[in-house]
Every structure is written in structure tokens, then in C-alpha cells.
Amino acid sequence: MSTSRQGDHPPLLIDAATVSDWSATADVVIMGFGMAGACAALEARAAGASVVIVERTSGCTGSTSAAAGHFYLGGGTPVQQACGFDDDPVEMARYLEAVALDPDREKIRLYSEGSVAHFDWLEAQGVPFDRSYYPQKNVVQPGRECLIWTGNEQVWPYRDMAKPAPRGHKVAFEGEEGGGALALRILSERAEAAGATVMADCKVEGLIREGDRIVGVQARRFGEPVHVRARHGVVLAGGGFGQNPDMVARHVPILASAYVQGSPHDDGLAIRLGAAAGGTPIHMDEAFLTSPFYPPENLLKGILVNRDGQRFVAEDSYHSRSGIFSARQPDGIVYLIVDAAIFGYPHFASLTNQRLIDGFATVAEMEAGLALPEGSLQATMAEYNRHAADGADPDFHKHPKWLKPLDEAPYAAFDLSFGRAVYTGFTLGGLRVSADGEVLDAAGTPLPGLYAAGACASNIAQDSNGYASGTCLGEASFFGRRAGAHAARLPARKATA
């Protein structure tokens, strides 16, 4: 059998016949100890399987460590009920199908129907959630408040396609950062307490195949090769590819001009391993991208215009939707226009370099100052103001809550142009997998013994337009659990080496 080698790197696919010594053996072997890996380990152990986690760093890590700690959950969670919001799995599934680039209805159904039970499971593991609601439009709650609107549920056309409900559940943590790290610490400690063995400082380099089945991994630890056999299956949970400049340039070049979030180890190795084994990466050209101009939420009453002085998106959209629309405008030029009544500096302006260009006495003066085509901004604002006075927005259907005529001078413009303002993002592409995390080939057939979950797999989150905060942690934990459970149940293959 041939091996798959990339450049001078070790082969990504290794024939089991060439392995003379196995350093360790377990029923389930997991690459990566982030959110997906920890949850896969917990479910595999709950099913009675022995587990070895191969982690390249000295402890649990992954992009979760830098996350605010939102889980996208719904269908009537205890938090939703306590805060007075009526939600059900059918409406949640309708929304997720509506915003998906290429909806996988089976995964969405399972995720929506299992959301309440998954919330209960997270709490049972010790992940804390307050019974509280944060009503303002924000990127992340500044305090411990749990429930928040984190998607486009109230944005047209989605509000007409599914009954809106807030589904962002933030881990109880004081501050805008740290909730993800807290959840990961709790779950990783639970996984180790449940009996999962962690091989830290051990980087997976290749998958070991016997016949048509993946039976283990080759890794390197302190410079020495390590071979770990998997009796049942290998779960790839090694993150995305945002820190691999070559993969970013090839698949999603728009991110090359953005600050990429995530773990420094998001080098795409897990995706490349899966592809070498016959898996199919999908949605590799999609990314989450944002430069949030709210809070304060009053700024949502302003308008976003491009170099032609034209609006192009409903300003009350979730920030990654308005962000990707902005980045794709001609020359990336975008301005946020506000009047004196709603003026305020964007909360993240110091981080995003959303520069206040100037104040202007008239719309015509602002139009000239921004070098927009003569009459363009004046016409746009006249039409917008005329309809806003009636509580309407026939062009983009912004929610009436965020509509007001922009008619109180002076006027101001903030520069949100892509390339001048700082945009942040992360990759969304990954391996095509079944609802149980099985890596699929081009024909949709599972590759025996190989699973993937988390940022290296494609599940619910597919593009910036349909993203909602909490989707990554939600699907990493939910589908990580399913992958671990399924791998544990997979019939073992008798060792022949």
C-alpha cells in the first residue's frame, strides 16, 4: 500500500504492516483535547470504551480556550423557560435550515431535538449557566448573564421563516472572555476523571490504515515516533486551518487580510489527515468574518453604505452577516452613517480601527467628504428617511425597532472598510461527516474507523451569513459526543500487527 506524503513532511497515511511496535492501544483514540475531543472522550468512556487522547500541547487546548463561552442551544432549555421564552425544536430546526448554506436536515433535526438534553448534559458535567437574560444587542454579555440573541433570528427574512427565540447560552463567567476556557477545563477534567488517558506533548503526524480501515495514529513525542492502535476507531478533533497561510490562501483568501481567531495550532492537519485517508473537505472557501460596529445598539439605527453611496444589508443583522456583506463590497469600501441623535463610538473601535472620519453639517457635505458619487448618498438617505418615518424599510426590511429617520445634524461617518478597519474571523470548512461523525468519502460512504468533530468537521456552521455565536461550541460538543459514542460501539478489529 502506498503512503500519502506532502512535501518533506511525514506521510499522512501509513500502512499498518510497517508498524513493528505499538506504544499504546485503546478502543478509541482521539486526536486533540479541545471541546470536541473532551466530549468525544466522555461519551466513549460512558459507553465502556477505553480512550487515549493524543494532544500536541501540554494540556487541553483548542480554539475554545479563546471563546467567550456561548453554546447555541434551544428548543425550550431550562434557561429559555426561566426567562419566559417559548421555543421548540421544530422552530429551531426551521431557523437553522433557513440560514444554512447547504442544510443537512438530518443533522439539524438531531441537533434541535437533542438540544435540551444536551444542555442538561453540559450542566450535569458541571458547566454553569445562570437563569438570566441579556436583552441588549451585543456581541457578548459583559457579565454572567446567560441567554442572548446571537444570530439572525429577528432579522428578515428569517424572522418570517421561523418563530424567533434567543438561543445563545453563555457559560456563567464574569467578563467578555473566559467562558470557553472555563467550560473546556471542566469537561477535560471530567474526561480524565472518567478514565481517559491523555498523551500530552504528542503530535499526531499520520493515520495508520490496515486494509480499508483506520486502525491508529502515528505521532511524535519528544522527538521519538509513537504508534497508538485504535481497536474501534480514531476521532479527529484537531481544529481548523486558520493558522495555515498556504491553506488560507488556497481556500479562503479573504481571511489573509483579516486577524484570524483560534488556536495557534489550527494548521489544518486534521483535515489533511482525513483527506489523505479518502475523506472529502467541504465548504473550505467559507469563513466567519466580522468587524462589529455595535454596541452601542443605537448604532444599528444608522445605515451602512458602500462606495456608490448605496445600502447593501439590513444593519440589524448579526455582526458576521453584516461583516461578510461589508467585506465583499466593491473595493471593500463601507461607511457607517449616523446622525446626532444616535451618535456614539463603537465599543470595539479601539480594537477594530473603525475610525471616525468627521462630522458634517449636511448630507451633501458628507457625501463630498467621503468621495461618494454626487447625489448618491443624498438619494439613499432621503429614501431611507421617508420610509423610516413610517416605520418601514422596503429595501432591506430592518426591524422597526431599529428604524428612525437620520435627520438630526450634524452627521458622522465611521470607516468600516475592509482593509482599513480590522476584521477578524476563522475558518468554517472541514471534513464531510455523518451525523455520527463518520468521515465520508466523495460518494458519501463512511471510511471505516475514522471520525471527525469540531472545527475540522463540517456540521451546522457553514458560512458567515448564517452563523450564530455559540454554533461552534454547540456543534463541537454535541457532535463530538455522537462521534465518541459511535466509535465506542463500532466492532473492534482484531490486531494483526
Cell of 94: 426551521
- In this prediction, residue 8 carries a pLDDT of 54
Whether 251 and 284 have beta carbons less than 8 Å apart is answered as yes
In angstroms, what is the C-alpha Rg of the chain?
A: 24
Helix (H, G, I), strand (E, B) or coil at 479: helix
Whether 244 and 268 have beta carbons less than 8 Å apart is answered as yes
CA 44, distance to chain mean position in Å, is 24
According to DSSP, the residues that pair with 90 across neighbouring strands are: none
Q: Which of 42, 112, 35 is nearest to 77 (CA)?
A: 112
H or E element in which residue 169 lies: strand 168-170
Could you give the residue ranges of the DSSP H alpha helices within 206-359? Answer: 245-251, 269-276, 319-327, 349-352
According to DSSP, the residues that pair with 305 across neighbouring strands are: 311, 335
Whether 417 and 334 have beta carbons less than 8 Å apart is answered as yes
Cell of 272: 489533511
**What CA–CA distance (Å, rounded) separates 13 from 378?**
61
Can you give the pLDDT of all 497 residues of the chain as single tens digits?
334 554 457 799 999 999 999 999 999 999 999 999 999 999 999 999 999 999 998 865 656 656 678 999 999 999 999 999 999 999 999 999 999 999 999 999 999 999 999 999 999 999 999 999 999 999 999 899 999 999 999 999 999 999 999 999 999 988 777 788 999 999 999 999 999 999 999 999 999 999 999 999 999 999 899 999 999 999 999 999 999 999 999 999 999 999 998 888 899 999 999 999 999 999 999 999 999 999 999 999 999 999 999 999 999 999 999 999 999 999 999 999 999 999 999 988 888 889 999 889 999 999 999 999 999 999 999 999 999 999 999 999 999 999 999 999 999 999 999 999 999 999 999 999 999 999 999 999 999 999 999 999 999 999 999 999 999 999 999 999 999 999 999 877 665 44
Q: Which CATH architecture has domain 292-415?
A: Alpha-Beta Complex (3.90)
Return all residues near 328 (Cβ < 8 A) that are at least 6 apart: 254
**What CA–CA distance (Å, rounded) separates 191 from 60?**
11
**What CA–CA distance (Å, rounded) separates 497 from 492?**
14
Whether 467 and 454 have beta carbons less than 8 Å apart is answered as no
Whether 198 and 174 have beta carbons less than 8 Å apart is answered as no
Q: What b-and-e string marks burial along 51-90, b requiring 16 or more CB atoms within 10 Å of the CB?
A: bbbbbbbeebbbbbbebbbbbbbbbbbebbeebebebbbe
- In this prediction, residue 395 carries a pLDDT of 96
Q: Which of 352, 342, 377, 372 is nearest to 362 (CA)?
A: 377
- φ/ψ of 271, rounded to 5, equals -65, -45
According to DSSP, the residues that pair with 287 across neighbouring strands are: 427
Q: Which of 256, 272, 386, 250 is nearest to 31 (CA)?
A: 272
Let me know if the fold of 13-66+180-288+424-489 is the same as that of 292-415. Answer: no
Cell of 337: 452613517
Q: Helix, strand, coil: what percent of the chain each, to 5?
A: 30, 20, 45
**What CA–CA distance (Å, rounded) separates 481 from 42?**
7
**What CA–CA distance (Å, rounded) separates 416 from 313?**
14
User: What letter does residue 400 receive in the DSSP assignment?
Assistant: G
**What CA–CA distance (Å, rounded) separates 230 from 422?**
44
**What CA–CA distance (Å, rounded) separates 313 from 495?**
58
- Say how many Å lie between the first and final Cα of the chain, rounded: 15
- In this prediction, residue 497 carries a pLDDT of 42
Whether 49 and 197 have beta carbons less than 8 Å apart is answered as no
* CATH class in words for 13-66+180-288+424-489: alpha beta
Residue with cell 452601542: 296
- In this prediction, residue 243 carries a pLDDT of 93
Cell of 355: 475610525
Q: Where are the domains of the chain?
A: 13-66+180-288+424-489, 70-177, 292-415
pTM for the structure as a whole:
0.94
